[in-house]
Structure 1
Amino acid sequence: MEVLVTGFMIHSNDSNIDAEHSHHLYLTTWDGKPIHKHYFSGVTSFNVGHDHKYAGTTEAAPSGVPHTHKFFTHTSFDDGHKHEIQGITGPAIPLPDGGHYHNFQGVTTINGAHPHSHRFSGNTSS
């Protein structure tokens, strides 16, 4: 099965990936349909005397078809540490204007002087 994908590639001097240089690939369509992303943000649960803020952008997914998005970010640095947040959103929830949003939820990685995690949940932007 062939899927037509379009996009563009940008040269990067990001030395974390390769000692000389790297390229970042940005997809613009998948199987002839435009792709899109959502913003997400929130505050984790209050555990061990503190909480953390977080914000990020989901990975791209095709528009106009049933889909979910992967997401990944780090929390704010509070109480001497931060956590990773990652997961997959729920399916698209339609809006009256034709747009949609997604629910997300999960538990952060464990970190801190007193090892612990935090719960997080919310809705993406539309």
Structure 2
Amino acid sequence: MDIPIKGLLYESDDQDGRHSHMLYITSWDGRAVHEHSFSGITSFDVGHSHEYAGVTAPAPSGVPHVHEYRAETTFNDGHTHFIHGTTSGCVDLPGGGHFHYFEGYTTVNGRHPHAHAYQGRTGNEL
């Protein structure tokens, strides 16, 4: 079964010598897709915390769904961490739209290897 997908493909101009592409999906099986912004602060561990922010991967509008997310934290105490995962299902907002919960643990990094917990909720759909 083929599912029609429409989107935009962007070629990166990374200065670090790596070549990559980003695909921005604008419709899935004829339905518009949407994304959510997210941000937060990790738990305070080993004397510091980190901030993070990003935009979820797109998902179809108007149907039960989840979003994938990933981001790199701020550079604190000489290192960064990565977060990634899948949001909860959508939680409807009284005035329209919806948000998703997310939570997890960062990757392990630092002079004294450690991870941080994080949790939050996305913004309304973009």
Q: Give the structure-2-normalised TM-score.
A: 0.90
Q: 1:23 to 1:43 in 2, by over 3 A?
A: closer
Structure 1 moving runs of 4+ over 6 Å: none
Q: Give the structure-1-normalised TM-score.
A: 0.90
Q: Which residue of 2 aligns with 1:86?
A: 84
| Separation in 1, partners of 2:22, 2:110 | 33
Residues 20-62 of structure 1: CA deviation (Å, up to 9, x unaligned): xx65432110011101110000000000010001001101111
Q: 1:11 to 1:53 in 2, by over 3 A?
A: closer
Amino acid at match of 1:28: T
Amino acid at match of 1:5: I
| Separation in 2, partners of 1:30, 1:70 | 16
| Separation in 2, partners of 1:123, 1:62 | 19
Amino acid at match of 1:100: H
* Equivalent position to 2:35, from 30, 34, 37: 37
Amino acid at match of 1:16: R
The count of residues paired between Structure 1 and Structure 2 equals 122
Report the identity percentage.
52
2:73 is the alignment partner of 1:75: yes
| Separation in 2, partners of 1:82, 1:24 | 23
* Equivalent position to 2:49, from 48, 51, 76: 51
Amino acid at match of 1:97: G
Unaligned runs of 5+ in 2: none
